[in-house]
Structure 1
Amino acid sequence: MKRAWKISASAHSELLCLRRPPRSPTTPRPPRLLARPRSPAHGPSRGICGTAGPSPAVMRDIMELFVEKFVRAEESRAALGEGVRARVVELRDELARLDGPDEIVRVLDEKAEPLLHSVDGLAFVEFLKRLDSWPHQALEVFFWKRKLQERGIPMTSEEYVKGITVAGRIKDVDLATELFTEATSKRLKANSTYNALMGAYMYNGLAGKCQKLFQELKKDADCSPSIVTYNILISVFGRLMLIDHMEAAFQEVECLKLAPNIVTYNNLISGYLTAWMWDNMERTFQTMKASPVKPNTSTYLLMLRGYAHSGNLEKMEETYELVKDHVNKNDVALIRAMICAYCRSSIMDRVRKIETLLGLIPENGYRPWLNVLLIKVYAQEDWLDKMENSINEAFEQKTSVNAASVMRAIVGTYFRCNALDKLVNFVKRAECAGWRICRSLYHCKMVMYGSQQRLAEMESVLDEMDSFNFDRTKKTFIIMYYAYISSGKKDKAEQIKGLMCKYGYGVPHDAVSS
């Protein structure tokens, strides 16, 4: 089976280690949560709307979901008190403005030590959490705290988890592994440190190492996989489109009687979305809604993307209404995906809906593929002015159109709108810009010149065709024949009939359109 991602032979053998635990004959089969069709023989085709990898910001948010929290955020804030929380925020804001390690260390020496002596060290852990958006500063803070061990101030498991997570986020896998080893040597190893390193491997695309570490965790007498661990595995397999392995991991969750959480379901949905397995995606979503775990904003955003890519406009619009405010403010990529879905559809008011969504895209949000789609849509709808505006934008942005279907749609609009001069201008610009030049462009010009009895200009198109190595076809001669007949040039028409017979095309009987 061909896969869109390649992994090493050793990594592949590790992936196969994940098996369902055997059932005894008397053990009842648990209810089937997900259908398990075979993975597609070929990866999903990736067109202009294909799912690209998530942005670093999205990956950061996803990765944070994999790290087990030793203390819930609300509990830690309640324990800290307003005064300590204010100092944490103030120090965070000050460090966020600094770049150099020396300056960061100086500020920490002056102002951070009181945070070390709060209840159970919660203030310092909260401080590290507050630096999530500034990973480099967070790493300097971690190094500063690590050095304090020389003064008898020990590190905690929570701090190592944060350090491993930040190292993975800045793509320093060696450092993440070093910190995990260091935590292990100090007997601070826990499920969460395993999960943090597995998350770092996942973030950096190291599926083999992630799976190997999972096998080590299963053999560790002091630790055992948690639902967070399986969430990471499901995410890794989903990203690699190893759907069979992803489903096997989820089956193991059921057999171990671990409770799936919101991240579990979202990762399953994301995996099916990546593989373009729309029925499985929908089935998982419906199962989730029927379970104690209810969809959150991330779930609806995933489903919205899936509905857009699959062209399910009805459900796409229903889901968009649920998360409209979030999407409009924060997710331009999803807006583009919805526009793409409307462009591929044939509904009556698609242009109105497209125009509404286009108004939500910032001026600097130009995308060549989207511009080409809009050109085709406006052409199909005979919106000449809108089409030309998009064409002009494409020329200005040096976007090259290489699809013959788009060029034919453009030509058809000029013909139906009887805009000969605009067509002539467009063809000249397209030739100079290196766009896909097809014979239909020239045939359309000839038909329109002929209909206006501008025969000399019609004949000059033949030279243009020659310059681009387009041979004269049967349609070329038929266009000229009927142009001469309609203009009363019977002698010219007879010459064309002779040429058609010479080339074996026969004698024309019916007019044809371009």
Structure 2
Amino acid sequence: MASLSVPINPLPPPVNRRPDVKPEISLTAKERDEEKRRQKVNRKIASQKATSMKLRSEATKAVIGDKSGPSNSKEPLPLLENLRAHIAALRWESALNVFDQLHEQLWYRPDSDIYIKLIVVLGKCKQPEKAHSLFQAMISEGCGVNRESYTALLSAYSRNGLFDKAFSLLEEMKNSLDCKPDVHTYSILIKSCVQVSAFDKVDSLLSVMASQGIKPNTVTYSTLIDAYGKTRKFAKMEATLGEMLREGQCEHDVWTMNSTLRAFGSSGQIETMEKYYDKFQCAGIQPTIETFNILLDSYGKAGSYEKLCAVMEYMQKYYFSWTLVTYNIVLEAFGRAGNLKQMELLFRSMRSDRIKPNCVTLCSLVRAYGKARKAEKILGVLHFIENANVMLDIVFFNCLVDAYGKVGCFVEMKGVLEMMERKGCKPDGITYRTMIKAYKKGGMNSHAKELKGSFASVQKSSPGLERQNLQHSVSRFDSNPAS
């Protein structure tokens, strides 16, 4: 192998070199005067440059001051940035307060874009009447209404179930010259309708779109596919998916794929799910971490642990970073299967990845240990909670009550009520019914009768509490961890 040529006398590193010493040069009196004059000129030029830069800076501030009004008014940039931040965080009250401050500024001019963004935020925050008031204020300030502003108000109505007002506004748009609804308008209304399972309204809207020559886009199709899948309308879902694939101008994306896989996977149709996964991959749609979470969740619930492990290995092989949702899914799956060793191994891996467990994680652990009758392991979870600073909710405490009941630790089960009181969490109907069932199964009928009386008195004193807590528990259990 040829070697690189080395310089004959390579210089040592600069840090080891002696500084070059320039020999002193004797100057005549005339040359010294010339040198002093040159330095004086250089200092004058530098001073002029600095003065010029300062003047330009002051001039810029003066221009901003002229635009922002008197000296006690706020500058436009901080106010606008503050408004955008509140809008992005859906802090509607703070956003309206900043918007009021904007009106007080001399430089303020009505901006329809700001109005539209605020109307959208109010709709998302369940303030449709305030959205309507803001829409009227926009008109009174001279901002021209357009399709976007109408659509924003229509969205505020439909999001909050005010369909009469939403459809009335839609008719108003259809009869206007410059604000006719487009595919975005219809997609928003369709999404609101499917959320309340108003599929008759959806069919009507699709017919109107077809009569007006408005073709559904990717968002429209994906919304329909997701809704049909969640409501088990698989024939309509596949028909919509087929129509979308045939539509050349409408490209399906990963959201469409995930909605399709979730629909079939959650209903146990594993083969159909895998068939569509292959179809989407052949179409060039690449899976994301959410896609793999859906596959893991589907295989876990179907008991296909070999396929679940294959997905896990694939994710590790191609460096897909696991999320909290991923860990919660696999912990639940192995806990349900009674594979405590694998579950605990994954929990340690989760902690080494610095992913903080939440209540869903802890519920999976407690549920698995209760099923396996491992009381000491349940106690270990409680010790972990003491040092982990995890916010506990009613669902976790109900899991804990159920686990202790299955193990037969009735003293510890009753102690959960005291723990709930310390944490400021009130028991609900599920808590009492679980404890009563455990007492009866253990032959402790007197305890069951006593607790039943306590439950009845709680229901009488707080009739709304039972329903509220029950709805919260059901919503937590029904939520798909892969969504």
- Give me the TM-score of the superposition, normalised by structure 1: 0.52
Distance in 2 between residues matched to 1:391 and 1:373, nearest whole Å: 14
AA of the residue aligned to 1:191: V
The answer for the alignment partner of 2:212 in structure 1 is: 220
**Aligned pair 1:375/2:373, yes or no?**
no
Q: How does 1:428-443 map to 2 (within 5 A)?
A: 434=436, 436=438
Change (3 A) 1:133 1:92: farther
Residue 302 of structure 2 aligns with which residue?
A: 310
CA distance in 2, matches of 1:101, 1:171: 24
C-alpha deviation, 1:162, in angstroms:
3.0
Look up the equivalent residue of 2:100 and give its one-letter code: R
For structure 2, the 5+ residue unaligned runs are 1-74, 386-393, 416-434, 448-483
Contact 1:160 1:183 survives alignment (8 Å) = yes
Query: Residues 85 and 169 (structure 1 numbering): CA distance in 2 closer, same or farther, change over 3 Å?
Result: farther
> What is the CA–CA distance in structure 2 between the aligned matches of 1:324 and 1:297, rounded to whole Å?
7
For the structure 1 residues 276 and 172, does the alpha-carbon distance in structure 2 shift closer, same or farther, using more than 3 Å as the test? farther
Mapped contact 2:335–2:365 kept (Cα < 8 A): no
Partner of 1:481: none
2:291 equivalent to 1:289: no
Q: 1:197 to 1:153 in 2, by over 3 A?
A: same
Question: How far 1:292 moved relative to its partner?
Answer: 3.0
- Supply the distance in 2 between the matched residues of 1:467 and 1:127 (Cα, whole angstroms): 59
Instruction: Find the aligned partners of 1:374 and 1:296 in 2 and give their Cα distance.
Output: 32
After superposition, what is the alpha-carbon deviation per residue over 1:108-163, rounded to whole angstroms, capped at 9, x for unaligned? 5346996756xxx667667777x599635798467424433345422222233333
Structure-2 separation of matches of 1:399 and 1:246 = 35
Quote the Cα distance in structure 2 between the aligned partners of 1:429 and 1:233. 48
**Alpha carbons of 1:102 and 1:260: their partners in 2 closer, same or farther (altered >3 Å)?**
closer
| CA deviation after TM superposition for structure 1 residue 210, in Å | 1.8
Which letter does structure 1 place at the counterpart of 2:152? K
Q: Any idea what SS the aligned residue of 2:276 has?
A: helix
Give, in whole Å, the separation in 1 of the partners of 2:151 and 2:236.
27
Give the letter for the 1:106 counterpart.
Answer: D
Of all paired residues, the percent bearing the same amino acid is 15
Q: SS at 2:93's partner residue?
A: coil
Q: Which residue of 2 aligns with 1:208?
A: 200
1:336 to 328, 346, 349: 328
Secondary structure, aligned partner of 1:292: coil
Contact 1:335/1:357, CA 8 A, preserved across alignment:
no
Do the aligned partners of 2:154 and 2:166 also contact (CA within 8 Å) in 1? yes
- Please say if residues 264 and 273 of structure 2, whose CA atoms lie closer than 8 Å, have aligned partners that are also in contact: yes
Matches within 5 A, 1:412-427: 426=409
Aligned counterparts of 1:85 and 1:154: Cα–Cα separation in 2: 24
SS at match of 1:288: helix
CA deviation profile, 1:81-132 (whole Å, cap 9, x unmatched): xx99976532233566562898476345346996756xxx667667777x59
Return closer, same or farther for 1:199/1:310 CA change in 2, 3 Å cut-off.
Answer: same
2:277 is aligned with 1:275: no
Q: Which secondary structure state, in structure 2, belongs to the residue aligned with residue 155 of structure 1?
A: coil
Post-superposition shift, 1:465?
Answer: 9.5
- TM-score calculated relative to the size of structure 2: 0.54
1:109/1:142 Cα in 2 relative to 1: closer, same or farther (>3 Å)? farther
Cα deviation digits, residues 316-374 of structure 1 (max 9, x gap): 4246657975723xx4xx54332110113365831423533775555666876762323
Matches within 5 A, 1:358-373: 360=355, 362=357, 371-373=366-368
SS at match of 2:438: coil
Greater relative contact order: 1 or 2 (C-alpha under 8 angstroms, separation 6 or more)? 1
Distance 1:173 1:318, change over 3 A: farther
Separation in structure 1 between the aligned mates of residue 100 and residue 445 of structure 2, nearest angstrom: 75
Q: Name the SS of the counterpart of 2:143 in structure 1.
A: coil
Q: Which amino acid aligns with 2:154?
A: I
Aligned to 1:504: none
SS class of match (1:99) = helix
> CA separation of 1:302/1:89 partners in 2, compared to 1, >3 Å: closer, same or farther?
farther
1:239 CA displacement: 1.4
Q: CA separation in 1, counterparts of 2:444 and 2:216?
A: 69
**C-alpha separation in 1, matches of 2:444 and 2:132:** 69
Contact kept in structure 2, 1:167 and 1:176, CA below 8 Å? yes
Q: Which consecutive residues of structure 1, in runs of 5 or more, have no partner in the other structure?
A: 1-82, 412-425, 442-463, 469-514
1:138–1:166: 8 Å Cα contact kept in structure 2? yes
How big is each residue's C-alpha offset from its partner over 1:188-247, in whole Å with a ceiling of 9 and x where there is no partner? 2112111111112123332222222112222224x2333332222212211111111100
Residue 159 of structure 1: which of 149, 152, 162 is its match? 149
Q: Which AA in structure 2 matches 1:242?
A: K
Matched residues in 2 for 1:465 and 1:134: separation? 50
Is this contact kept in 2: 1:375–1:390, CA < 8 A?
no
Q: Distance in 1 between matches of 2:109 and 2:237?
A: 42
Distance (whole Å) between structure 1 residues aligned to residue 164 and residue 314 of structure 2: 42
1:327: which partner in 2? 323
Q: Is the 8 A contact 2:158 2:166 kept in 1?
A: yes
- Aligned ranges 1:340-359 → 2 under 5 Å: 340-345=332-337, 349-356=341-348
Higher Cα Rg, which structure: 2
- Judging by fraction of residues, say which structure has more helix: 2
Please tell me the root mean square deviation across aligned C-alpha atoms, in Å: 4.7
The CA deviation string for residues 254-292 of structure 1, in whole angstroms up to 9 with x for no partner, is 344343233322221222133222222222222222223
8 Å Cα contact 1:342/1:350 also seen in 2: yes
1:109 to 103, 107, 110: 103
Cα deviation, 1:445-490, whole Å, max 9, x if unaligned, reads xxxxxxxxxxxxxxxxxxx89999xxxxxxxxxxxxxxxxxxxxxx
- Per-residue CA deviations over 1:44-93 (Å, capped at 9, x if unaligned) read xxxxxxxxxxxxxxxxxxxxxxxxxxxxxxxxxxxxxxx99976532233
**Letter in structure 2 aligned against 1:227:** T
**Which residue of the other structure, out of 127, 134, 141, is the alignment partner of 1:144?**
134
CA drift of 1:401 comes to 6.2
Q: Does 1:237 align with 2:231?
A: no
Give me the whole-angstrom Cα distance separating, in 2, the residues matched to 1:84 and 1:215.
47
Is residue 2:241 matched to residue 1:247?
no
Per-residue CA distance 1:403-431 (angstroms, 9 max, x = gap): 99x84xx48xxxxxxxxxxxxxx366679
Q: Residues 176, 266 of structure 1: CA spacing in aligned structure 2 closer, same or farther, 3 A cutoff? A: farther
* Corresponding position of 1:496: none
